[in-house]
Structure 1
Amino acid sequence: MTTDPLAPLLELADIAAAVEAARDQIDQALRHRALRRNGGQVAAEVGLRSAIASAALEGAAYEREAVRAGTVTDPVVQGALRVAGALPGLSDLWPKAPRQALARLHVLAARDVVPAEELGRPVTDPLVAARLETLAGLVAGGSATSPLVLAAVVHGELLALRPFAGPSAVVARAAARLTLLSSGLDPRGLVGVDIGHLERQPEYVGAARAFATGTPDGIRSWLRHYTAAVEVAAAQLVEIGDEVLAGV
C-alpha cells in the first residue's frame, strides 16, 4: 500500500483545522447569488485583481483602475494578465502534463521580460529538474490529500526552486491556482488567492522562506499562511459579488 507523501502535513499542529476552515469559506463564497447570473463578470474581476496582486508581489505594483483602463504597459503586469486569462483553459492539461502546463505559463508570464530562447525552458540544474519531476508526480495523481494542501505545496516548492528565468513567482502562484481549478474545488477560478498573499505580503515572504527550509515548522508556517490567504480570497469574492449585484 502506497503512502500519500503529503498526508503527514495534515498532522502538523492546527493544519487540518485551518484547511477545513479555509475550505468552508470557499464553499460559502461560491454560493454567492451573484454567481448565478453574473458569474462571468465576477470571474473577470477576480482574474484582474489576482493578476494585479501577482504582479505587485513581483515588484510591479500599479493602481487597479489604471490596469483596467489598459494604460499600464509594464511587461510583468501584462504577463500576469495573460496568465490569469489562460488558467481556465489549462486546467485540464495541468494534472495530465504539469511540466507542459508550467512551460506554457512561463511563456505567457515572461514574454518581453526574458530572451525568447529562455521562454518555457526550466533552468539547467539537476537538483531543480529532480524536484520538478517529483512535484509533477504529485500533481499528476501522486497525492490524494486536500487540494488546498497540494496547491500550497506546489506554490511553495516552485517559489523555492525558481525553475524559470524572470517572473518565476508569477508562474508559481498561477500553478497553485491551477491546482484548485483542476481539482474541482474552484472550477471557475473564482478564488483569487494571490489577493490574499498581497494583503499579507510580509507574512507571505517570511512563510515562503520558512517553507524552503523543509523543516516541519517551516512547512507548517507556510500552510498556515496559505490557508489564511485563501480566507482573504473568499472574503474578496463575496465583496466582488456584492459590488456586482449593486452595479458598482
Structure 2
Amino acid sequence: MTIPLRPGAGRAARPAARAPGPDPLAPLLDLPGVRDAAESARAAVDRLLAHRLMRNRSAEVSTESALRGARASAALEGVDVPLADLRAGAFDHPVLQGSLRVSAGLGATVETWERAPGQVLARLHVLAATDLADREALGRPAAGAGPRLTGLFSLVTAGSTVPAVLVAAVVHGELAALAPFGTQDGVVARAAGRLTGITRGLDPKAVSVPEVGFVELGAPAYAAAVEGYRSGGPDGVAGWLVHCCRATELGAAEGLAIAESLLRG
C-alpha cells in the first residue's frame, strides 16, 4: 500500500485547507484495527487533558513530559539513561544530548511546522546531530530523499478529515522509514510525530509522552513496526498505525502519572 502523501489532520480537522475532492488519507481508517485504535488513543489523550491540573499547571506537566520524552527517544536509539541520572546531569552521550536539545527546542517550532516543515526538520536535525554528523551534513537530507520529502511536506501543510493521531503516525513513519539525514533520523521522526500531534489538536498542551509509550511496547516491536510501514503493504501500514495509537495511549497514561505526581508534591 502506498501512502498518498498529500493532506493530513486531527481533533479539529481542517477541511478548508484541503484541496477539493476525497481525502487521500481517508482509506487509512478502513485498514484492520486502525479506526478503533485511533478512537482509543484520542479518548486516552482527552482523559489526560481533562485532568484538573491542566487548568493552571499544564506547563509543569509539559516540562516533565519533554524530559521523559527525550530520555525515551534516546533509549529507542540504544542509549538508555536512568531518569534520576538525567535529572542529576550525569550523562554525556551525544545521542541523549541531541535528543534533549530537540525536546527543548520543539516548542519554538510549533508556529512554523505547518508553514515550513522542511525548515523545521532541518532545524531538528541540527539540534539532534550536532555532535554526531559533519557540519556540512547537518540539516541536509540526502538528495534521493527529495521526492518523498516533498510529499511529506504536502501532508504537513494540508488539511484532512483523518484523526490527528494517524497523521502524526504517518509523519513519524515516513521519516523513520526514509531516514533522510543518515544520523539521528529516529529522534527527528519521533519529534516530528509529536509536533504533528500538538499542532493538529491531539495534544495541544504537549502533556502526553508518546515516546515512553514506544519504549513500553519495546524497541524490537518498534523496529518491526517501522519495517512493516516501510514495506508499504496494507498489513504493515495498519500494524504501524495501530502501534502508534497504542503508544499514544500509553503516553497519555504517562502524562496522567506525571500530573498525579505533581499533585502529590
The normalised TM-score by structure 1 is 0.96
Partner of 1:84: 103
Distance 1:55 1:172 in 2: 12
- Give the one of 171, 176, 180 matched to 2:193: 176
Instruction: Flag structure 1 segments of 5+ consecutive residues without an equivalent.
Output: none
Distance 2:217 2:31 in 1: 22
Mapping of 1:91-110 within 5 angstroms?
91-110=110-129
Q: CA RMSD in A?
A: 1.1
Distance 2:204 2:127 in 1: 21
Partner of 1:6: 25
1:219 has 2:237 as partner:
yes
Instruction: Flag structure 2 segments of 5+ consecutive residues without an equivalent.
Output: 1-19
Is the contact between residue 154 and residue 175 of structure 1 (CA under 8 Å) also seen in structure 2? yes
The normalised TM-score by structure 2 is 0.90
Q: What are the Cα deviations for residues 21-68 of structure 1, in whole angstroms up to 9, with x where unaligned?
A: 110110011111222232222111111100000001111111111111
Is the contact between residue 155 and residue 173 of structure 1 (CA under 8 Å) also seen in structure 2? yes
Q: What are the Cα deviations for residues 105-145 of structure 1, in whole angstroms up to 9, with x where unaligned?
A: 000110111111111000121xx210010011011015342
Q: Which amino acid aligns with 2:48?
A: A
The Cα of 1:71 is off from its aligned counterpart by 1.7
Q: Which amino acid aligns with 1:236?
A: E
1:145 has 2:177 as partner:
no
Is the contact between residue 87 and residue 178 of structure 1 (CA under 8 Å) also seen in structure 2? yes
The Cα of 1:217 is off from its aligned counterpart by 0.5
Distance 2:112 2:208 in 1: 19
Task: Calculate percent identity across the aligned residue pairs.
Answer: 45
Is the contact between residue 147 and residue 180 of structure 1 (CA under 8 Å) also seen in structure 2? yes
Instruction: Report the structure, 1 or 2, having the larger helix content.
Output: 1
Distance 2:122 2:159 in 1: 20
User: For this pair of structures, how many residues does the alignment match?
Assistant: 245
Mapping of 1:220-239 within 5 angstroms?
220-239=238-257
Partner of 2:10: none
